[in-house]
Amino acid sequence: MAHDHDDVDLIEEGTTPAAEAAPAKKGPQQTWRTYAPAITSLVLLLGGIALDYFKLSGPTGTPERIRWFSDPWRFIWYVVAYLPVGWPVLSRSWSSIRKGDVFTEFFLMGVATLGAFGIGEYPEGVAVMLFYTIGELFQDAAVLKARRSIKALLDVRPDEVTVLKNGQAQIVKAATVGVGDVVQVKPGEKVGLDGLMRSERGTFDTAALTGESVPRTIEKGESVLAGMINQQSLVEMDVTTPYQDSKLSRILKLVEQATGRKAQTQEFIARFAKIYTPAICGLALLITVVPYFFVADYQFRDWLYRGLVFLVIGCPCALVISIPLGYFGGIGAGSKQGVLFKGSVYLDLMTQLKTVVMDKTGTLTKGVFKVQDVQPVGIDATQLTRLTAALESKSTHPVATAILEHSQWLRRTGGFADKGHETMSVEGVEEIAGHGLKGRVEGKDMLAGNAKLLQKFNVPFDQALTQIPYAIVMTAIDGQFAGYFTIADEIKPDAAEAVKRLKADGIRTVMLSGDKSAVVEIVAKQVGVDEWHGDLLPEDKVAQVERLKAELAGNPKAKLAFVGDGVNDAPVVALADVGMAMGGLGSDATIETADVIIQNDEPAKIAMAVEIGRATRRIVWQNITMSMVVKAIVLLLGAGGLATMWEAVFADVGVAMVAILNAVRVQNLKFK
């Protein structure tokens, strides 16, 4: 097809964050004018062929061709048919030659078709360029489809939003809204900007951003992102980020840049084409000239025709366009599933993974403390929860937050028959560093903290509790042990399934964590990883990853991925062959540091990323194999004089179109 080797720029220009303050421009479109040159050329070609073969009855009754349709008029007719499709290709060829790049597919097509005119094969010269152009139109349609599908998946921001000013709702351009403004989002509307929830809560469809099918409930003070869809009641939010700097804008920029990071296969094909194309030209010249010295009845015209056929068949356009398009299809397929690849090189690397190292907190677990169990002693469990939550309400520690949330959950589900912790009297609260809290709740002296706190105040308790691997909060009321709360990080529902799928793909799974080894071991056994290590500092994680990479050193094709949050684990993310980040829409640093971003928090998407990489590579190699085999067969036939230029053009354009359709297919594959 008529494209330079490096011009497969599949994202529209002008989508940089700086440009996104203005309404998004529409990309290139195919209209009737796009097809007009090919249609004009086709009509004239068919008319010329009809005039060539239409015969009238002569004076003697013998059929003869139309007299006027002979040179120079016949030549002029076919030149006019050639120019609408041939002139653009010749112009591109001349432009490439002026830049020092002679041996392009434009050059091959130009020489072959002008050579056909030189030996009087006008219809074949026109046909070669016409079908070449038709193939180009198919390719452009495929590229535009890829562009539109990516844009439809990601650019889901409305241009206008409703802003509250002086108590009045006003509809304004999203790009004009400032940080701190209050935006109103009606049920069914898309969120136009990033912000914090101002209303008590809201339910949002996040499928366009993360691929999640289950709506997400967002509470007051939590982040709301551009592209989410409000599902229920009217909500208000405080804008935190300008339109052009939203998380979604950064994701769009990321996808725009993705085509610049080429896979090894793409780089190989680009290098191959720079050797292959001049080689084809050289072989075509040899086919034309060398037989003069060996063939007794050498006819220059016949051997020149064979050389020209060889040039047409040898055009590498099927490889040059279908392979980058295949990789871009893989990037599009990933975006559709909430997996963002920062370049086609990472699609290739996913197919070579032999070890996947995962952080525990935030990757295989939710990263949020939650009360797992309440064990009261001499008191009702709900009463213990109310009293402890009232005391913990004076702390901002994550453990305190877990107890407060547990108390609120009990109240919502009817666990409290009377008032909740929010209305209890709390006084004299003192935070004892590294121990816990001391204070009076409803007139009772209370302690809530670790074993050291109870020992400090001489409160007796069962020493076996200190052996529990999870975090526990012990409580004492009026100097008596009153029970404890077991608090732990929750394992994600699909964590075990994700590990199982990775192992089924022959990938070794390792979990690293800074958490206590006893806790890490429990999580490791529940999710089924092959190896685990706890009590690790950041430098310890680096050492572990270096050790695992050293074990793979004997196989240059074996790669290692690290999956973490992209912030705390930055050193190991950088060290890994593929750095993967969970929950990319929630962290600016994640977007900057990771190579592959899982937009939601589902570990199963790690295995899906591997499957998308393998499917993409499979389709790319199908195209390479098909193109090379068909071309090799037809090249031999052409060199032997058994293939005409008609067959050559159908072989070239036909293979290219099949390869393009196959490349586009990856976007429509189903991944679990």
pLDDT in tens, 505-557: 999 999 998 777 888 898 999 999 999 998 887 778 889 999 999 999 888 88
So what's the pLDDT on residue 439?
Answer: 94
Higher pLDDT residue, 253 or 46? 46
Q: For the chain, give me the number of helices (H) and strands (E)?
A: 20, 24
Place of tokens 């403004």: 181
C-alpha–C-alpha distance, residues 348 and 578, integer Å = 10
Which of these, 594, 390, 607, lies nearest to 501 by C-alpha position? 607
The pLDDT value given to residue 207? 62
pLDDT tens sequence across 389-422: 999 988 877 788 889 988 888 887 765 555 566 7
pTM greater than 0.85 (yes/no)? no
Residue 4 is predicted with a pLDDT of 43
- What's the pLDDT score for residue 415? 56
Share of the chain above pLDDT 90, in %: 23
Higher pLDDT, 271 or 330: 330
What is the rounded average pLDDT for all residues in the chain?
A: 80
Q: How far is CA 60 from CA 32, 54, 64, 67, 400, in A?
A: 48, 17, 10, 15, 111
User: Tens digits of per-residue pLDDT, 552-562?
Assistant: 988 888 999 99
Domains defined along the chain, listed by start: 17-153+255-332+614-668 (no CATH), 160-245 (2.70.150.10), 341-356+497-599 (3.40.50.1000), 366-491 (3.40.1110.10)
Give the integer Cα–Cα distance in Å for 669 and 667.
6
The pLDDT confidence band at residue 59, using thresholds 50, 70 and 90, is low
| Alpha carbon distances (Å) from 574 to 528, 545, 562, 578, 580 | 26, 11, 9, 8, 10
pLDDT of the residue at 1 = 44
Decide if 145 contacts 330 (C-beta within 8 A): no
- pLDDT greater than 50 at residue 16: no
**Quick one: which of 241, 665, 589, 82 has its CA closest to 579?**
589
359 is catalytic: yes
Tokens 């590498």 correspond to: 316
Tell me: the pLDDT tens digits for 116-128? 788 777 888 888 7
Token readout for 225 is 């992102």
- Output the furthest CA–CA distance in the chain (Å, rounded): 131
Q: Which of 194, 205, 359, 565 is catalytic?
A: 359
pLDDT for res 629: 85
Q: Where are the beta strands (DSSP E) in 166-312?
A: 168-173, 182-185, 195-197, 201-205, 216-219, 223-224, 229-230, 235-239
